[in-house]
Structures are given as C-alpha cells and as structure tokens.
Amino acid sequence: MGLIIYLDGKFVDESEAKISIFDHGLLYGDGVFEGLRSYNGKIFKLDEHLIRLYKSAKAISLEIPLKFDEMKNAVIETVRKNNLRDSYIRIVVTRGVGDLGLDPRKCKKPTIFIIASKIQLYPESIYEKGIDIVTVPTRRNLSESLNPSIKSLNYLNNILAKIEANNAGASEGLILNQFGYVSECTGENIFIIKENFLITPPIYAGALEGITRRVVMDIGENIGLKVIEENITRYDIYTCDECFLTGTAAEIVPVVIVDNRIIGDGKPGKLTLKIRKEFHLITEIEGTPVYE
C-alpha cells in the first residue's frame, strides 16, 4: 500500500491514482495548485491556502467543482487517511480532460487531486549555516502576461530560474522583474533587514503573496521591527544586515551569500533566527486539527 490519494471525490491507492494523457493540466499546464503543511496533526493556514487556490482558479476562469468547505474536508480527510501528523500537502486542480486543442471549453470537468505525504525536511545544516543565492538571467513573467500571483501549473518561469541557479552552483535563484527590481526566489519570498526595518518586495514586483511571508510580516511587527513592502534592488540586498527566504516547505531560511557578496558577518542573522523561533512557536499551536 502506498499513499492514499484523493482523486475526483474518491480515495485511492497511489498505484491507482492516474489521470488521462488528455488532461489539459498535463498538455498545457492549464490548472492551479497549492502546497501546504501540517504540524503535529494540525494543518497550518488551511483557509488562507484555500482562499489563494480559489483566487488562482478564478483568475484563469477555472471553476472548481467543490465548495470551499468540501475542499477543506477533502484536504483534512486526505491527511487523516494517511495517518500523518507532520506532512506536506499538495492540492492540484486542472482544467480536466479535453482534446488536443487548447480550447478549455472542451474540458467538461476539472480534475482534482490531493496528495498528503511525509514532509521532506531540509537538512538542519542549511538553517545553521545559511545558503548562497545568485541572481538568474530569467526575468519574472510580466503581470500582464501570466500574473505571478496565480499559482498555476505553468511554473516554467520558476523552473528556468532554478536551472540557472543550479548551473551556477547556488542553492537558490534570485529573480528580478522587467524593471530590474527584486521579485522573489524560485519558490520562496525574500526579506531583508536593515537597521530596524524588515523589508520585502511588494506583490506588484512579481512576488507570490506567500502565506509564510504574511506570517513573518506579522512576527516582524510583534517583535518591534518596522515592516515595509517596497521595491528593492540587488544593491539593497548586498548592503543589508540580514537576508532570508520564506516558504511553506523551507519555512525561514537564512541567506548568507548573494552573488558572491557576504551578507552581514556571513552567518545567519540574529533577528532572522528570532523570527524563525517565533514562527515555530506559531506552527506548534495554530492550525486546523485533523484528528478531532
């Protein structure tokens, strides 16, 4: 027995969780997704992730054939059926099965699947030592073309950036938008700390409205930092006191080298570590219980 997967209203073994080669999610990347986590039997920020999922779907004119609460129950049930306490959860909604043309009107029913799996934790060393990132040549998609706020199945913009970061031997790629301002990394938002300012690029710079980003902004306020969303350049990063990335899977990752420039004293920053600690306190207590 493998994982138990939610697929179009049924729970099936992963060996039976198959979708058609005519599914437009596969043929065209036509669909949306979310990545969530559960901590100690509670799903973190479930509503926020589902709200973002439904917004992404709306933006691409995809009507999800489940009501919000039905989707919520499906997610909870998937985690429960797999007996998981700490997990990574992936929700995918595709345009569904159509023909070889790209017209979405041919797709009569969206495909929905939910995977709840053991979380692959990042090695502790990356949090202790921090990571190095590098600016990549690929620019962020234009908002007027494919808005980066849409968490769509078309992630090639991010994947190309990831390939470029890999080729450069770096842990992550820093993506700039068409104006040369920083947007984010390939699957994480970016923050810098300068004096008592906690700064992150605005959504219109091409950043995803990250759920972890929001939590970190709130933590920043609570610990007395001035939190601002404003355009930042690479210069701002090179000369900041501390830098870190945020995302559901990676949580809060200190960045110690950017384009060969050492950030601060080359070690994870004190405030970064404090924010990381506060974040863990929140994930310990908050969340939608799976087993009650």
Angle at 212 between CA 44 and CA 264, to 5 degrees: 140
Residues 249 to 268 in contact with ligand PXG, rule: CB under 6 A:
249
Cα–Cα dist 265/272, whole Å: 13
- Contact between 279 and 69 (Cβ < 8 Å): no
- Contact between 194 and 185 (Cβ < 8 Å): no
| Dihedral in degrees, nearest 10, Cα atoms 122, 126, 132, 133 | 30
* Shortest spacing between CB 145 and ligand PXG, in angstroms: 15
Residues 187 to 246 in contact with ligand PXG, rule: CB under 6 A:
187-189, 208, 210-213, 246
For residue 193, the 8-state DSSP code is: E
Q: Which is nearer to ligand PXG, 174 or 208 (CB)?
A: 208
Selected catalytic residue, list 42, 151, 226, 277:
151
Q: Which is nearer to ligand PXG, 98 or 187 (CB)?
A: 187
**Binding residues with ligand PXG: total (CB under 6 A):** 15
Which of 275, 262, 154, 189 has the alpha carbon at shortest distance from 225? 275
Determine how many CB atoms are found less than 10 A away from the CB of residue 271.
Answer: 19
* Shortest spacing between CB 154 and ligand PXG, in angstroms: 12
Cα–Cα dist 152/236, whole Å: 30
Contact letters for ligand PXG, residues 38-67 (x by CB under 6 A): ------------------------------
* Shortest spacing between CB 265 and ligand PXG, in angstroms: 27
Burial class (CB in 10 A: 0-12, 13-18, 19+), 215: buried
* Shortest spacing between CB 11 and ligand PXG, in angstroms: 23
Q: Which is nearer to ligand PXG, 60 or 97 (CB)?
A: 60
151 is catalytic: yes
* Shortest spacing between CB 175 and ligand PXG, in angstroms: 9
Residues 22 to 41 in contact with ligand PXG, rule: CB under 6 A:
35
* Shortest spacing between CB 245 and ligand PXG, in angstroms: 9
Q: Which is nearer to ligand PXG, 97 or 132 (CB)?
A: 132
Residues 6+ apart with CB under 8 A from 164: 134, 136, 137, 138, 173
Determine how many CB atoms are found less than 10 A away from the CB of residue 153.
Answer: 21
Chosen residue from 56, 158, 171, 272 binding ligand PXG by CB under 6 A: 158
3-state secondary structure of 63: coil
Q: Is 283 in the site for ligand PXG (CB under 6 A)?
A: no
Q: Which is nearer to ligand PXG, 97 or 219 (CB)?
A: 219
| Ramachandran class of 113: left when φ > 0, alpha when ψ lies in -120 to 50, beta otherwise | beta
Cα–Cα dist 120/90, whole Å: 13
Tokens 């999800």 label which residue? 64
Near ligand PXG by CB under 6 A, which window of 56-64, 109-117, 185-193, 264-272?
185-193
Q: Which is nearer to ligand PXG, 20 or 166 (CB)?
A: 166
Q: Catalytic positions, please? A: 151
Q: Which positions touch ligand PXG (CB under 6 A)?
A: 35, 158, 184, 187-189, 208, 210-213, 246-249
